Amino acid sequence: MTDWQWQLGVWGGNTTAWVLGLALFALWLVELRSIRGESDRRRKFALGALGALSILAVYLLALQVTLVRETFEDVAGGTAIVLDSSRSMTLSGNEGPRRDAVSALINDWQDDDRVSPVVYLFGSSVRAAPWDGLGERYEPSDDETRIRDALNYLLGKSIDREVGSIVLITDAADASFRAESVALGQSPPVIHSVIVGGDDPLDDQAIVSLQADTTAYVGVPAIVRVDLRAVGKLRSAELRVQLWHESRLEQEMVAELDQNGRGTLTFEVTPQRTGRSLYRVLIPAAANDEVPQNNDRAALLRVGRERLRALLVAGRPSWDVRFLRDFLKRDGSVDLVSFFILRAAADLTAAPTDELALIPFPTDELFREHLGSFDVVIFQNFDYAPYEMQSYLPRIKDYVQRGGSFLMIGGDRSFAEGRYAGTAIEQVLPVKLGAPGVLKGSYRAKVSKALARHPIVALGPDPVLTRQTWRALPAMYGANVVSRVKDGAQVLLQHPRARLQGGARLPILVVGEAGRGRVAAMTADASWRWRFAADDATVGSDEYELFWDRMIRWLTHDPLLEPARISTDRERYGLGGELVISGKLRDDNYRPMDKTRVELQFQPAVHEESVAVVETDEDGLLQATVRAPA
């Protein structure tokens, strides 16, 4: 269709044309007035006509009048295909997987050369996709089906060509979708819906969403909240939900669902170690659960420590007690609760008990009510018997086995001298106690050669300098005698001369594990000499601080002191994302595991085979780049 139109090029359009025309007409009238006295009528007419033609020419030139020819052609609007890419499209129906039905439909459309639509995939997000080869590349993997977001995105987006119609291909697995929530606007395109598998019955129990505190603190409860859904025949079935921490089942609850098959559960978790902690919420898959992939969600908590709580109980004041207590008090990250036994019940005194300015030892409050709030418990030359603590020792044992830390420091009221042999405390100590006995005489503790890299005793940058540093420290005096070292425990320091009955050197410092907790036995009570004797020319003061700092951190599971560490470049990844993994591997003796073949695998494992196999370098370091499961 062709159309002819006059157009004005002057600024202001018709308004300017009218104003200019009136002005020029007035000018022509003025000109006519000026030739009124002309006697020759023919000359008078000619002058008036010439003036009119001149003014008309000026008028037309000023208006910039042009003649425009417009040709119109009616073209039908383009088609946009909005394709569901959520994982529910992989479900099988009466005629096979929904994904296969969509691929077959797209392949049929591609056989028609007249069809060339724009394509958008949607699920958790919306993204463009090429039309060519779409049927072969179609692999739905998103966790959500957001129909409204997809339509609003397309309707509000300025795409390359006008869209006359939208074809929505989905299984409609979006319970929150309402047609009236779509912003259609004026003159919206026609929307066609192709529902795939809509008539197939679906039996499914699912975790819809999971919310958790991303930052948590040791010993402080954190909340993990899950929203649940059950449909089909499983709506009336029992919905059991489990909470796993690493490889341990921590809690299990049964959810109560409303009439729509929805419910919520809240788990309370109390992290015991610093670092990154992974919790998994799992619905054990029923035999007829058609979508077991949505039965598992994970929450990653970054666990810190507000302040490390330490309980120090000393049998009597001493130099060793004074310096250790002073060190713990000066550490701003330690919340110290300390008790000194200044007077036992059997001590003779000239004044009655109610007149003494001393408080009774709060055994019940400490070891029954608040024991679990401490990160480490230290018995320093403390004997329990005079304070009727026999019934509390099993509680300390349970505290350690559940993940607590316990340190016993020697003296004439400690170990076998404190009558701990045969008690619950001996069961968690890394040494076996025998008959009471104390070794006298001065000595310099010797570092076990195989364990010179252990962080507690590694006072130098390498084993050679570590042993030199220990030889230069001020000598200690005396040590408690033990029967033997338990299997699995590590002797970090030993006496240079004294030996046990079996021929092994007398241990000075032994560390080990009891259940999920860590324990240490320091049979000497003279580490204070390292600091007390230190001056500008003597090794000791800095080493004392470093030794006890490492001791407390190791006992409380500081992740920086673990023998093996694995880290990733980010905390969270999308499906199929690229992970850069780095790590440092050392054996139980903290020696680098050099040239060691390491297999990496995701947990829970998606496949039996490893995702990567790498080899550590001479320092035990490794690095690998892998893909997350899709």
Domain boundary assignment for the chain: 2-71, 78-195, 204-304, 308-560, 565-627
Cα–Cα distance for residue pair 473/446, rounded to 1 Å:
11
For residue 536, what pLDDT is reported? 44
Helices (H), 120-269: 134-137, 147-156
Among the listed residues 224, 308, 209, 246, the one whose alpha carbon sits nearest the alpha carbon of residue 552: 308
The pLDDT tens digits for 271-290 are 888 888 889 999 998 888 87
Contacts of 439 (CB under 8 A, 6+ apart): 478, 479, 480, 481, 495, 498, 506
Q: What are phi and psi of 418, to 5 degrees?
A: -95, 10
Same fold, 78-195 and 308-560: yes
Q: What CA–CA distance (Å, rounded) separates 522 from 323?
A: 15
Please list, in sequence order, all residues whose beta carbon lies within 8 angstroms of the beta carbon of residue 237, skipping any fewer than 6 positions away: 205, 230, 286
Task: Mark the ranges of the chain whose per-residue pLDDT is less than 70.
Answer: 1-2, 4, 6-13, 17, 37, 39, 59-60, 62-65, 67, 72-77, 93-95, 114, 157-161, 175-181, 185-187, 198-201, 341-361, 532-541, 574-575, 604-610, 630
Q: Which contiguous run of DSSP H or E holds residue 20?
A: helix 13-34
Distance CA 407, CA 335 (A): 17
> Given this model, what pLDDT does residue 166 score?
87
Q: What are the residue ranges of helices labelled H in 433-534?
A: 463-472, 528-532
Give the DSSP H or E segment for 107.
helix 98-110
The domain over range 308-560 is classified in CATH as 3.40.1010.10: no
Lookup result for tokens 């929904």: 98
CB 10 within 8 A of CB 64: yes
Both tokens of residue 285? 């898959």
Q: Which residues pair with 340 in a beta bridge?
A: 314
The pairing of beta strand 126-129 with beta strand 118-122: antiparallel
Output the CA angle 514-519-525, nearest 5 degrees.
150
For residue range 523-549, list pLDDT tens digits in order.
999 999 988 654 444 455 688 999 999
CATH topology for 204-304 is: Immunoglobulin-like (2.60.40)
Q: Measure the CA–CA gap between 479 and 500, rounded to whole angstroms.
A: 13
Pairing of strands 517-522, 405-409: parallel
Specify the amino acid at residue 72. F
End-to-end CA distance of the chain: give it in Å, rounded: 54
Supply 128's token pair: 């463009």
Q: Tokens representing 208?
A: 């819809």
Query: Count H helices, E strands: the chain?
Result: 12, 34
**What's the order of all strands across the beta sheet hosting 126-129?**
126-129, 118-122, 78-84, 163-170, 190-195
pTM: 0.64
Helices (H), 473-539: 528-532
> Domain 78-195 adopts which CATH fold?
Rossmann fold (3.40.50)
Whole-angstrom Cα distance, residue 572 to residue 497? 54
Task: Give per-residue pLDDT as tens, 124-170.
Answer: 888 888 988 888 888 888 877 888 888 888 887 655 457 778 899 98
- Amino acid symbol at 70: E
Torsion of CA 518, 521, 526, 527, to 10 degrees: -30
So what's the pLDDT on residue 267? 93
Rounded CA-CA distance 407/569 in Å is 36
Torsion of CA 171, 175, 176, 179, to 10 degrees: 50
